[in-house]
Structures are given as C-alpha cells and as structure tokens.
Amino acid sequence: MEVESRRALGSRYELLTRLGQGAMGQVWRARDRSDDSVVAAKLLRPELTSDPEVVARFIQERSILVGLDHPGIVRVRDLVVEGQDLAIVMDLVDGDDLRTRLRQEGTFSPRLAVEVACAVLDALAAAHAAGCLHRDVKPDNVLVAGQGDFGAQDVRLSDFSIARLAQDSTVMATGLLGTPGYMPPELFVHGTFSAASDVYAVGVLLYELLAGRTPFAGPGTAHTVGHRHVSMAPPRLPVPDPLWRTVAMMLSKDPALRLPAARTAEQLRSLPDDVLDAPRLPVQPEPERWEPVDAAPATGPIRVNELPSDVDVGATYVPGAAVEATPVARPGAVEAALPVGDVDLQETGLARNVGPHTRPVLEPQAVAPEERRRRPWVRWVVGVVVLALVAGLTWLVVGLVTGGDDEAGPSTAGSGPLSATLVDDPLPSGFSVTRRVDYDPETGTADLSIRFGAQAAALAGPFLEVLPPVGQGDQCPLVAWEDDVEVSANLPQVTGIGVPCGHSIELTEVPRQGSVEVSAEVSVDLPAESGALEDWLASVSESTDAALASQPVGAAYPAQRLADVRVEVPSDVRVGSGSVRLRLLPVWRGAERPDDVRVLYDSQAVGPPSELLRQVAGGPDGVGLSDGCNGALAIVNGRRVGVLRAAESCTVRARVGNFTDLVSDTFRISPAGG
C-alpha cells in the first residue's frame, strides 16, 4: 500500500497494509505510534458501527478481551471506538492461519493434529476460566507463527468473541454466532451456547485436520449442514479406535456428554504412541449417505441463550458402560453351595476363586436430549456373589439374584431391582434437577434420590417436588424423607399452587457450580410392564413442571419459577442528582409483566437484602452492574450507579445470578440545570 493512502485509526494507530478480509471485517497491518511497534488491527464491517447495540456490546467485551493472557491466545492490546471505526488491535503473528496450512498439506498426521487440538483446547480452558467463550473456533481463527514445520508451541487462537459482536437477538442459522460447519447441535435446536459448544468446534477442527474435510461437509445450505449436525452421525474415520472414541465424544450431540476443554486435552494427550504415530490419512471423500442418529428436530430462527463460560455442563453427566455391580444380596435370594473341588479351607478360606470387581470404563454416547430425559443411564440384571459363614467354616456362598423365587408374582419388566435416571434441562435461574430411582418390584419400594444443582450463582429453597400416584384416582404415595432434610407439604393457601402430592423441600443453599442431594423412600405399586419405572419418573418431572408453570404471580419457589429479570431505571437522569435508582424486578414464568412488588434488588434501599435475592442469586454478591454509557456513569462497588456527565443515550448492564447479560431500557442524562 502506498504511503499516501495510509490513514489513522484513532489517535494512536496508523493503518499500513491490508492483510486479509473475512465475514466480520478487514485485517490490517498497523503501526502503534506510541512505541512504533507493528500490530494487527481488525476493522469490523462499517454497517456494524451504526448499530448502537453492537457498539455497546463491543465496549462491554473490552475488559474481558484485553484481560486474556495465555501463550496460546493472540493478545488483544486495545479496542478502538472512534467515528465510523470499530477495531480490535492485536499482536501481529507473522505466519499463516491453519486453513492455509491445511490446504497445503491436505491432512495432518494424528500426532500433529492432536497437538494442534490440545493447544487450542488449552487456550479455550484459560479463556473459559476468565469468563470468555470463543464462539467461532475454526482453522481460519487459528494462527501458526513462522514458516515451515510447526508444533503446538506455534499455535495461537485468535478472534475471541468477535462473532458475538454482530449477534442479533434473533437470527437465522446462516449468520448465527459463527460458521455453520463448526456450530454445535444445541445452537441449531435450542439456541444455547456454552463452553461445551467451543469443545464441539474443536472436535470438528480435529476431525478436519485428520480427514481434510469437516464431518458434515457436503452440498446444501447452512440449514442443511445444521440438520446434519443435529441428526446425523459423523462419518467414522479410519483412525485407531482410542483416537476415534475421543473425537466422537467431542462431537456428542448432547453437550453434557462432552468433557471440559482442559479434561479433553488431557484425554487426547493420554493416547498411546502407537495411536498417535498411525499413518496420515488421505483426504477423505464426502460421504454418499448419512447415518441418522434420531429424528431431526425442527430448526429455524432461534433466540440465543448463552450459558456462563464457567458452567461445566459435562462435569457430572458422563455415562459409563454397563459393568457387573459390586456384590449385593437381597433377603431370601441366597443359597448355600458346597466347596468345589479339592480346596484347603484352612489355607485359603475360599471355596471358589472370584475375580476382582472391574472399574467402569467410560464410553462416550450420543444421546438425544429427549432420549436422555426418558431413559435410565443403565438397566441391568446383576449377578450377586455373597460371602457368609456356614456351619462354623468360612465358605464362599454364591447366590443368584433373579428378582425373586418362582412362586413370586410378576415383577416390573420381569426382573429384580430396577433403576432409572432422569436429567431435567436447566432452568433460566441455573437450577437443575437430576433424579434417580432404584425400585424393588417385590416390596413396591422406590429409593428416590434427587440432586439439585446450581450454575453461576448459589440458590436456596424452598423447592417444589411433586410425587404423583401411578394411576389416576390413586392416593398420593407414602413418602419417607431422610432425617436431615426439612420437607413439608405444599400449602396452596400459602404458595398459590394447588397441586396434590406436592412437597416443599427447604435447603439453605445449593452452592454455585455445585449440588445438594436429598433422598426419600416412596411406596409405589408399578404395573408389571416394561418402561413403567421410567414413565413414573417422567411423570414426577412433568407434574412438578406443570405445577410451577400454573402460577404466574406470587414468589413461591422462586429459583424454579424465575424466567427473567427486568432492569428498571428512570427515563431521564440529571447530572448532579446523585445516584441513579436502579431496581431489578423478577419476571415469573407465564407472567406478562415484571413483578414490581417483590423486588430482587433496589440500589437505594436500606437494610438487609431481600430474601428473594438470596434464593435466586446467592445474595448481594450475585448482583453486578456495569456502565453501558461509554463512561458517563460510575459504578460504585458493582451495585451503585453514579452520574459523571451528560449523555443522550445510556443503558445500565446487569448480572443477577445466572442472568448474565441484562440491559436496561435506554435513558437520557441531562446536564445540570438543563
């Protein structure tokens, strides 16, 4: 570029030569006038500068982006907002991007592909810990320093959060938070994006490095590609099984089945040398047909619900392969057996050699969300071995549990004790429920375990749990809760929720990113048919959800009924008027308006914080405010709003518990006396 065509970028930088252009804007080589260093500047598309929401989001991202510090992340030096320019100033990486290297090589060896994927995962793990999602991991955004051969130490992940800057509240999949070939199924179906979604994109990247193409590449529109992400299995690559199992886990349809970034990198690095040293594949052809994994849910315009980056959706839900259970016997199911063969009981004390109990081997599974809600993790019939003392000698006593003797009546599914597990989708407040039940058909007793979880903030009870009868017209089942949990009957005259068989569970706290488990023994007489246990467990979830949705007013069971939070500020504020009164108002499920009576937080209130705030956000620490006025406001202690200068268009951004991206209506700051 000629010298005379150079131009300034803000007051500090000078654009030199254009390095490239992408969907979000242009990348330039630039000079930092303050120290004469050469940097890279990414100028966002001009039409974005006219959108005040994009500009506000751009400013909001600054502190996060500038604060990212990791050797595998291209360092962001500055964000420029001036006139028609929105630009991100970064360190200049001399080299190519991974897309260029892949075009040159065709495919990578398994060892190099795994090293690159681990480097990207390391960078993502650091970003997730800092509260930042990438949202657009692909070879174009992975830079390689230098020329010629390279390794993990040369890999740099770039363009953090840039896709989010142009994100509209409701968009079609063709422009949705990144590139369709790398977007996770949950984004097409549910509109959710989390740290697990970034891991999915790295899975696509690793697949592409091994195969020379992405798993769902092929003819069709962005919606066609999205349909394949949602409903088709990734074509199997001819790589060693341990490597493929890890790739398949990263590409699981359900984000809960993917490990976090750091643990995924650890698993890849644990692959043996013979797997990593397998020969490099030729470029794989596009498949002639796709193998469906389930019926495809409808896709279309969706609202993006971004989950907090520090929520590990895979930490507590990794199903294991079915293995023989630890030996256990039920009363009446043990028969004595004499020693087998010539056994010296005085020397060994054993009549038969029994192998050690094998630890479960975790196997990734791709289970569609609805399937996961309806089916147990594992259903099995266990063989049981019991040690006992018979006739004064230490003998091995072997019992085979068959669900009862031949004279017993029919049992559910014709077997012994049954188990089922159901995982509900997290609620907007971050509240989640996992239920597990172990049912004995002979006694009609269900041992119910309920695990309440929280995501970005601590939550507190009461929590509603409805345990319905098996059949219509039956009485509510008898329930005996564990001694150390406070449970009472749901009182409609108090809660406004008139539902039979409702139980109010009082918990002082469900810790942030943690869980609390309660247990009960429930007497239910299930019919002797397959799936009856799963159906009853599903009815528990559905009955509870229906009861919570039936009451749009009142503040009963707030953590389960909070759908949104409204940030309320005055429409006109004057310089010199002191602090701005800000209120956080709950919006309950099914309600058309926010609840301005039961306020979560009032910035000018005195006295202790509201009990509601403790129940849905862990207390005052769960509230955070930030300036959406480009410096016109002063945020004091993260929860008080002061006025610094006049501004025509202002907003206040707020975080309340699990609600991390709240914005007030636009208001004006008038000059003092004006």
Cα–Cα dist 451/385, whole Å: 30
What interhelical angle do 261-269 and 195-211 show, nearest 10?
30
Asked if 572 and 668 count as a contact pair (C-beta separation under 8 A), the reply is yes
539 three-class SS:
helix
Asked if 637 and 656 count as a contact pair (C-beta separation under 8 A), the reply is no
Asked if 455 and 308 count as a contact pair (C-beta separation under 8 A), the reply is yes
User: Residue 153 corresponds to which tokens in the numbers above?
Assistant: 């130490």
Cα–Cα dist 321/307, whole Å: 29
List CB contacts of 541: < 8 A, sequence separation 6 or more.
373, 422, 424, 433, 435
User: Closest Cα to residue 201, out of 294, 133, 147?
Assistant: 133
Amino acid at 427: L
Cα–Cα dist 233/248, whole Å: 9
- Known binding-site residue numbers: 42
Type and span of the H or E element at 506: strand 502-506
Asked if 280 and 108 count as a contact pair (C-beta separation under 8 A), the reply is yes
User: Residue 207 corresponds to which tokens in the numbers above?
Assistant: 């697949």
Question: Catalytic amino acids?
Answer: 136
DSSP labels, 141-198: GEEEEBSSS--GGGEEE--TTHHHHT--SEE-GGGSSS-GGG--HHHHHT-EE-HHHH
Cα–Cα dist 36/93, whole Å: 16
User: Closest Cα to residue 112, out of 153, 73, 159?
Assistant: 153
User: Residue 236 corresponds to which tokens in the numbers above?
Assistant: 């199997």
Type and span of the H or E element at 625: strand 623-627
User: Residue 272 corresponds to which tokens in the numbers above?
Assistant: 């043996």
Asked if 647 and 666 count as a contact pair (C-beta separation under 8 A), the reply is no
Amino acid at 539: S
Q: Are strands 647-650 and 667-670 parallel, antiparallel or unpaired?
A: antiparallel
DSSP labels, 469-492: -SSTTPPPPEEEE-TTSEEEE--H
Residue 146 zone, left/alpha/beta (φ > 0; ψ -120 to 50; rest): left
Residues in the chain: 674
Which 8-state DSSP code applies to residue 251? Answer: T
User: Residue 32 corresponds to which tokens in the numbers above?
Assistant: 């930092």
Cα–Cα dist 371/423, whole Å: 10
What interhelical angle do 110-129 and 195-211 show, nearest 10?
170
Which 8-state DSSP code applies to residue 19? Answer: E
361 three-class SS:
coil
Which 8-state DSSP code applies to residue 274? Answer: H
User: Closest Cα to residue 598, out of 630, 570, 557?
Assistant: 557
Terminal Cα distance for the chain, rounded: 49
3-state helix, strand, coil in the chain (%, to 5): 25, 25, 45
CB count within 10 Å of CB 549 equals 15
Amino acid at 78: D
- Known binding-site residue numbers for ATP: 42
